[in-house]
Structure 1
Amino acid sequence: MTQAARLPLDEIRRRFFSDQPLPGQALPPSILHSWQRCRSLGLPASGRGGDRLDDGALRERREANALWLEAARPVLAGLGELIAGQDLALVVADSRGLILDESGDIAFLDKAARLALTPGMDWSEAARGTNAIGTALAAADSVLVRGAQHYLERNRALSCAASPLLGPQGQLLGVLDLSGASRKLGDFQMRALRAARGQIEAKLLEEAAGSGWRLNLHHDLRLLDSPAACQLLFDEEGLLLAANRAGLALCGLEPGDWRPRHFAALFGHSLEHWLSRHGAATGLLEAGAQQFSARLRPPARRVDAAIRSRPLAPPRPAPAALDGMADSLFASALKLLEADIPVLIQGETGTGKDRLARALHAASSRRAAPFVAINCAAIPEGLIEAELFGYQPGAYTGASRQGSKGKLREADGGVLFLDEIGDMPLALQARLLRVLQEREVTPLGGGPAQRLNIRLICATHRKLRARVDEGGFRADLYYRLCHYPLSLPPLRERGDVAAIAQAMLDGMGAARRGVTLSPELARAIRGYRWPGNLRELSNLLATLLVLADDGAVLTLGHLPAALREEMAGQGSVPGDSAISDLLRRCGGNASAAARALGISRSTLYRRLGKAAK
């Protein structure tokens, strides 16, 4: 038996929280990495207080998740019968870790309520430390947390198993959790959870499959119709609409990281080519270096463009992916969009206006219809009119012989996003106003007017009211767009920026690779003003993740030198006096002080040596 296996969990906790080294394999990697994430966020082992959502707010959260909850209901009922009499609770949480519902043995539910494991409570890692619900969401993977493996001391009486639920486009919908007294859970319960999750995800994919071509693939022909097969759904043009877990992996997509994929890009030839050769028969298909048996089935119902604008999949992406944005802002914007009221988003550069627009489209009833974006500041003034309204063949010198339908008509049936609308030329503003009023567009060069059915989202970093007063923006267009303007706060005003950074890292796959922030770097992230907002933070984290080895703890030393200097200038980076104070608090233990700062002992001595000169 190894030293790590013999080390009691209480001793492991004592060493971890006193910054002493742990022997290899002292904890499962998923638990250790979660502890490190929690520590980097400054979460004490005693925990922090948290309020239960009031009944009205909880009802709204349930309504936002109603479509997948309804699909899950019969499966959850069956899972509840399976665990009956085992002194367990079945807990359902949303993609942000908020408990939506629970059921199970009354005796344990009473105990769970005393531990705040009850509807309306937040069980994300940031709120409750390492726990099955929050850690499964952070890692996008099933997890078992027993007893004192929980980060918070008061939760050591629990054992919890959880499995995250994915929608047909790989988005995190929520999590299924089984909780009980310590040592009550094991492999049987985890298998039951995964089976329930698989049934729910299959049902959601089946609901999405009605309007798409379904491609099943497997190395073994006999397993083409089994749950283990890759399942991909494509529209008539060969664009990927949805996939199961195996299909996501085949397409190189991580959970929560949906990107457009085309049949031809995946398999080397078009959907039309496959149909001409095989039709609905079984054939062989190559994806990269792999060869599969494959069968393509036609849509269960053939639909026109208007019907295709209905949702393919039930999920509404939770605003968790929008990095600290208030739920109320997202909910208000979605209501405006669904009511066909223009959504105007204002905010500093880099606050995520484009991400909000895409999330609104993905959450709306038009999520299967086009989302067309145009940056009004990035296209030369002489071309933006043609880009928006389209043109007839030969409408102007250099025009395409085939003409162009334009962005407005491309968005027909879907959502048009006009970014930086405050920079739109005045002459073009008049044409846009007319389109919005008449709901039809005439291409450059003449031709009949075309009816339009679009929902509009606009964004700008400018103060539009001031632009109107300056004469740079039409007052009539301003009032047409500005029904209820929404302001995105800068990153520095969105709460704990280190928690947002860790959540963004996890969304990029850091949790699966065991990459975490050091406490020192988390403090620096909190103290920095982030002039580039989310864009600056996201770009930095993506770069650090590419450069980091698996299991790395990111420190100040991983940052570009220029950024370290900026942070130091703002007081975000601990100076030499702060390092000396920390060393004194560690009783002169240089190793403990270096670990707390996320730096090596030699770096610590070097800094102290410079301070002494």
Structure 2
Amino acid sequence: MPEHRHEDRVARASASPGAVTRLAASWRRSMVKHGLDPARAPQIEALTARELAQRREKLDGFLTVARPQLDQLFQLVCPTGCNVLLTDATGIVLEQRVNDGDAATFREWGLWTGTDWSEGAEGTNGIGTCLAEGRQVTIHREEHFYARNTGLSCMDAPIWGPDGRLVGALDVSSARSDHTERWNALIAAQVAQSARQIEAAFFRASFPGARIVTAQTDGIEALVAVDRDDLAIGANRAARRAFGLEREGALRPRPASDLFGREDEVTGFERAERAAVIRALARAEGNVSAAARALGVGRATLYRRMQRLGISEKTGRLSRP
């Protein structure tokens, strides 16, 4: 006899230790690891104002650089009745952007500042599953663990700190029944982009005075901070992976030339950066200003990089407009 209740479907899919899908694996974690019952969701409770202030104080530097990006993301999604949330690494909501007309709806759902949306508290959900698996996720309606949350669609991306550890999750949630999975995919792409922008801004703010060297690796911006003594003193998660550096924690300072290659031999990271610049110039048909915009840097910065990387202005018949 087929299950018609959400909780029955979740229980059945979670029964096997060898759950074959990521969703089923998350449901199983919720039941077995956290001891949750999909039919019996606990009442959502929020931190006190003092507790929330203490959480925010610990991440003050991060929140300072993240807030402008939250504002920009909210301006993009607010016409659709979405709720923008930023959490810490434990799933506690620290920041929120929501229209006044939608506030009561999301407060009723419990998607509010100070609430805990970890998997341990709410089972499979956008925020908690994103943090548990360290990857971008979309949890659409019936994919949630608790039956009470099946009216929500949640698009999330993790945010990694300059030490390679998770800082939190960026979430856009919708309670509208007319939001399709295709529409959610568009929002999810914007969430991922905003999360990467927050990461980059936080990384740069964490190394004031350092030269930040950038390159693309697997479509993700790798960042390395180099001090005035030409020592690499910081690297984001993508750069740590690309160079086989410490996975997380403080970076052991080492000569930047050991990573980027010697001045008379362009190798490693510098080669990747050179290729990224040349690709941008090619796509812009030699227009330096357009290439700079595509790379997210100023025109003067791009000219300096071209000079350092040995890229001639004559390469590809570059233009100056």
Partner of 1:42: 35
Residue of structure 1 aligned with 2:56, choices 48, 57, 62: 62
Q: After TM superposition, list the pairs within 5 Å mapping 1:414-493 onto structure 2.
A: none
Residue of structure 2 aligned with 1:76, choices 70, 78, 90: 70
Q: Is the 8 A contact 1:146 1:183 kept in 2?
A: no
Q: Is 1:87 aligned to residue 81 of structure 2? A: yes
Residue of structure 2 aligned with 1:17, choices 11, 23, 27: 11
Partner of 1:208: 206
Q: How far did 1:97 drift?
A: 0.6
**Does the residue aligned with 1:179 lie in a helix, a strand or coil?**
strand
Structure 1 residues 233-262: Cα deviation after superposition (integer angstroms, max 9, x where no partner): 24577765322342132134697x336456
Which 5+ residue runs of structure 2 have no aligned equivalent? 275-321
Q: How far did 1:13 drift?
A: 5.0
Residue of structure 2 aligned with 1:242, choices 234, 244, 248: 234
Distance verdict in 2 for CA 1:155–1:9, change over 3 Å: farther
Q: Is the 8 A contact 2:156 2:191 kept in 1?
A: yes
Which 5+ residue runs of structure 1 have no aligned equivalent? 1-7, 221-226, 264-269, 296-613
Structure 1 residues 535-571: Cα deviation after superposition (integer angstroms, max 9, x where no partner): xxxxxxxxxxxxxxxxxxxxxxxxxxxxxxxxxxxxx
**Does the residue aligned with 1:176 lie in a helix, a strand or coil?**
strand
Task: Mark the structure with the bigger radius of gyration.
Answer: 1
Q: Is 1:33 aligned to residue 25 of structure 2? A: yes
Q: Is the 8 A contact 2:204 2:212 kept in 1?
A: no
Distance verdict in 2 for CA 1:31–1:209, change over 3 Å: same
Task: Measure, in 1, the Cα distance between the counterparts of 2:102 and 2:186.
Answer: 19
Q: Is the 8 A contact 2:225 2:234 kept in 1?
A: yes
Task: Measure, in 2, the Cα distance between the counterparts of 1:112 and 1:165.
Answer: 23
Distance verdict in 2 for CA 1:186–1:88, change over 3 Å: same
Partner of 1:258: 249
Q: After TM superposition, list the pairs within 5 Å mapping 1:354-369 onto structure 2.
A: none
Partner of 1:284: 266
TM-score relative to the length of structure 2: 0.71
Task: Measure, in 2, the Cα distance between the counterparts of 1:108 and 1:43.
Answer: 29
Q: Is the 8 A contact 1:218 1:292 kept in 2?
A: no
Partner of 1:439: none
Residue of structure 1 aligned with 2:118, choices 103, 111, 124: 124
Q: How far did 1:232 drift?
A: 1.6
Structure 1 residues 7-62: Cα deviation after superposition (integer angstroms, max 9, x where no partner): x995785244147878x99x8x3322211111112111122234321111112112
Q: Is the 8 A contact 1:161 1:177 kept in 2?
A: yes
Q: Is the 8 A contact 2:260 2:268 kept in 1?
A: no
Q: Which amino acid aligns with 1:194?
A: A
Q: How far did 1:219 drift?
A: 7.8
Q: How far did 1:161 drift?
A: 0.7
**Does the residue aligned with 2:188 lie in a helix, a strand or coil?**
helix
Q: Which amino acid aligns with 2:116?
A: D
Distance verdict in 2 for CA 1:143–1:228, change over 3 Å: closer
Q: How far did 1:203 drift?
A: 1.3
TM-score relative to the length of structure 1: 0.39
Task: Measure, in 2, the Cα distance between the counterparts of 1:276 and 1:17.
Answer: 54
Identity %: 27
Q: Which amino acid aligns with 1:44?
A: D
What is the root-mean-square deviation in Å for CA atoms of aligned residues? 3.4
Task: Measure, in 2, the Cα distance between the counterparts of 1:260 and 1:100.
Answer: 28
Q: Which amino acid aligns with 1:147?
A: R
Task: Measure, in 2, the Cα distance between the counterparts of 1:188 and 1:172.
Answer: 24
Partner of 1:189: 187
Partner of 2:279: none
Q: How far did 1:190 drift?
A: 0.6
Partner of 1:165: 159
Q: How far did 1:126 drift?
A: 0.4
Partner of 2:314: none
Distance verdict in 2 for CA 1:129–1:238, change over 3 Å: farther
Q: Is the 8 A contact 2:3 2:9 kept in 1?
A: no
**Does the residue aligned with 1:230 lie in a helix, a strand or coil?**
strand
Distance verdict in 2 for CA 1:277–1:115, change over 3 Å: closer
Structure 1 residues 563-606: Cα deviation after superposition (integer angstroms, max 9, x where no partner): xxxxxxxxxxxxxxxxxxxxxxxxxxxxxxxxxxxxxxxxxxxx
Q: Is the 8 A contact 1:108 1:180 kept in 2?
A: no
Task: Measure, in 2, the Cα distance between the counterparts of 1:160 and 1:90.
Answer: 10
Distance verdict in 2 for CA 1:97–1:192, change over 3 Å: same
Task: Measure, in 2, the Cα distance between the counterparts of 1:259 and 1:70.
Answer: 22
Q: Is the 8 A contact 2:261 2:268 kept in 1?
A: no
Q: Is the 8 A contact 1:177 1:193 kept in 2?
A: yes
Task: Measure, in 2, the Cα distance between the counterparts of 1:20 and 1:201.
Answer: 34
Q: How far did 1:95 drift?
A: 1.4
Structure 1 residues 362-410: Cα deviation after superposition (integer angstroms, max 9, x where no partner): xxxxxxxxxxxxxxxxxxxxxxxxxxxxxxxxxxxxxxxxxxxxxxxxx
Residue of structure 2 aligned with 1:144, choices 138, 143, 146: 138
Distance verdict in 2 for CA 1:198–1:229, change over 3 Å: closer
Q: Which amino acid aligns with 2:187?
A: Q
Structure 1 residues 398-457: Cα deviation after superposition (integer angstroms, max 9, x where no partner): xxxxxxxxxxxxxxxxxxxxxxxxxxxxxxxxxxxxxxxxxxxxxxxxxxxxxxxxxxxx
Q: Which amino acid aligns with 1:146?
A: H
Q: How far did 1:218 drift?
A: 5.2
Distance verdict in 2 for CA 1:109–1:13, change over 3 Å: same
